[in-house]
Amino acid sequence: MNAIHPPKPIPTKKLWTVGTLTYTTAGILTLFCWLLWGDFVWSIKERATPPLMQILFKSHGAPDTLVGFLIGSVPSVIGMLLGPVISYKSDRHRGRWGRRIPYLFAPTPVAVISMVGLAYCPQIAAVFHAMLGSYSPGLNSTILILYSILWTLFAGASTIVNAVFGGLINDVVPESMLGRFFGAFRAISLVAGILFSYWMMGKIESHSLVIFLGLGLLYGIAFSVMCLKVKEGEYPPPPVAEESALTGVFGATKTYFLESFGNGYYCWFFVSFALSLMALVPVNLFNVYFAQSVGMSMDTFGKLMAVAFLLSLVAAYPLGVLVDRFHPLQVSLVTLVIYTGVTLWGGFFSHNSLTLGVVLVPQCFLAGVWLTATASLQQRLFPKNRFAQFSSAAGIVSSLGCIIISPIMGSILDYTGHTYRHIFLVSSILSFMALLTGLIVYRRFLLLGGTTGYKAPE
C-alpha cells in the first residue's frame, strides 16, 4: 500500500500592515520608490536654496546679521506660526485624498512660483528701481527687498510641506520598517546633496537663474506626481470633544498646548532636540562665508561637502539598522559627544583653508549622522494618534531656538569683524547643552520602559 503524504503547505506572501493599509513585498517596494522619489526632489531643493541665497544676499551687500535673520530666523518664525496649525488640522482632516496629501499638494505651486521669481529677481528689481527713480532705496537694496519677500514666500510653502511630510510617512510606512526607511530617506537626501555640491556649487554665482528655474520645474512636476501616487488608508473619525474644540480658535489653541506641553518628559525632549538643531545652525548658515574668507573657492567647498555627504551616505543604511536594533535616542547621544569635541577643535584651530577643510568634513558628516539617527526618533517617542501635533510642538521650540541663535550668531560675526571660526565654538557649546538635556530625557525614557517596553505617555 502506498503511503499517503499530507499536501505541502502553499507558501503565503509576506504582508506588512499599518492602520487599514496592507502591503505585499511588491507594494512596500512601490511605496518606498514613490516616497523616496518625492524626498529626492524635496531634498535637492532644500540643499540648493540656502547656499544659493547665502551667496546672492552677500553679493548684494547684506550683512551677516541680516543673512542670519532671513535664512535662519524667518523660516523658523513661519514654522512656529504655521506648523502647529497645519499639523493640528492635518491630524483631524478626513477627505477622499487622505489627511496628509492635500496639505502636501496645495503649497507646491507656491514654492515653484517663488523659485521662478527668485531666478528673475535682479531683472524685476531693476524695473522697480527705474520706476521709483529718486524714491528708490538703490538697486542693491531693491534687490535685497525683493529677495526677502520671495524667500519668505518660498519658506512658507516649504514649512507647510515639512510639517506634514513626516506625518504621511508615519501613516503609510509600517512601524517595523521605519528605521530602515529613514535610513534610505537620509541616503536619498545625501545623494541630492552630493549631486548639487559636487557639480553645481561652483556654478552658483554665474548660473543662479538656470539653477533656480531647473529646481522649480523639477520639484513642481516630481513632487506633484508623488502626491498622486501615494495612497493613504482609512482613519477613525476624530473624537467628538476634539471636533468641538475646532469650532473656536481659542479652544483649539488651548487643547493643543495642554496636550503638547502638559508632560514634563516631552518638554525636556523638545528642549534637547531644539538645542541639537541649534548646534547645527551656526556652521550651516556661515560656513560658505568662512570658506570665502580664507580663500577657498566655491568649487573646492562644494567638493568637500560632497565628500562629507558621501561618507554620510555610506553610513546611512547601517545607521538605520543600528537604530532599529538599539534605539535612536542612544545613538544620537553618542553622536552629540563626538560632535561637541570636533566643533570645539574647529573653534580653536581652524584658521586657514587647510584646517577649515579638516574640520568641515567631519563636522558635516557628524551632523548627517545625528540627522539620520534621529530621523525616526519622534515616531518612536510620540503617541501615534497625535504624532503630527507633538512633532509640531517640538518644531515650535526648535523654531524659537533658531529664531534666537541665527541673528545672534550673525551679530557676533559682524561685531568681531567676521571671525568665522566662532561658528564652531558656539556650535560646540550648544551641542554640549543638548547632550546634558538629552541625558535627562534618556533617564526618563528608561523609567517608561526603555528600549524593550516603552509606552508613550498620552
Residue-level pLDDT at 243: 47
Band of the pLDDT at 11, cuts 50, 70, 90? low
Per-residue pLDDT tens over the stretch 183-237: 777 778 888 888 888 888 888 877 889 999 999 999 999 999 999 999 998 888 8
Rg (CA), the chain: 23
Residue-level pLDDT at 240: 58
Residue-level pLDDT at 96: 83
> To which residue does cell 515650535 refer?
396
Take residue 25 and report the three cell numbers written for it.
513585498
Q: Which of 2-16, 169-183, 415-429 has the highest mean pLDDT?
A: 415-429
> What is the rounded CA–CA span in Å between residue 278 and residue 284?
10
Q: Which of 8-12, 132-136, 274-278 has the highest mean pLDDT?
A: 274-278
Band of the pLDDT at 364, cuts 50, 70, 90? very high
This prediction has a pTM of 0.76
Residue 3 above 70 pLDDT?
Answer: no
Take residue 186 and report the three cell numbers written for it.
537620509
Residue-level pLDDT at 174: 87
Band of the pLDDT at 341, cuts 50, 70, 90? very high
> What is the rounded CA–CA span in Å between residue 427 and residue 420?
12
Alpha helices, H only, 60-138: 64-67, 74-92, 101-105, 108-119, 121-132
Residue-level pLDDT at 178: 75
The residue count of the chain comes to 458
> What is the rounded CA–CA span in Å between residue 205 and residue 294?
18
Take residue 376 and report the three cell numbers written for it.
525616526
What is the CATH number assigned to the segment(s) 16-235+244-453? Answer: 1.20.1250.20
Residue-level pLDDT at 242: 47
Enumerate residues 6+ apart whose C-beta is below 8 A from 241.
Answer: none
Residue-level pLDDT at 432: 97
Would you kindly state where each structural domain of the chain is located, as residue ranges?
16-235+244-453
Picking from 209, 184, 172, the residue whose alpha carbon sits closest to that of residue 27 is 172
Residue 17 above 70 pLDDT?
Answer: yes
Per-residue pLDDT tens over the stretch 240-290: 554 444 445 566 677 777 878 888 899 999 999 999 999 999 999 999 999
Q: 3-state DSSP call for residue 264?
A: helix
Average pLDDT of the chain is 87
Q: Give the residue with greater pLDDT, 316 vs 122.
A: 122
Residue-level pLDDT at 119: 92
Pick from 133-142, 157-166, 235-244, 348-357: least confident: 235-244
Residue 301 above 80 pLDDT?
Answer: yes
Residue 391 above 90 pLDDT?
Answer: no
Band of the pLDDT at 316, cuts 50, 70, 90? confident
> What is the rounded CA–CA span in Å between residue 199 and residue 83?
33
Per-residue pLDDT tens over the stretch 50-99: 888 988 898 888 889 999 999 989 988 887 788 778 887 888 888 888 88
- pLDDT > 70: what percent of the chain? 93
Take residue 53 and report the three cell numbers written for it.
541665497
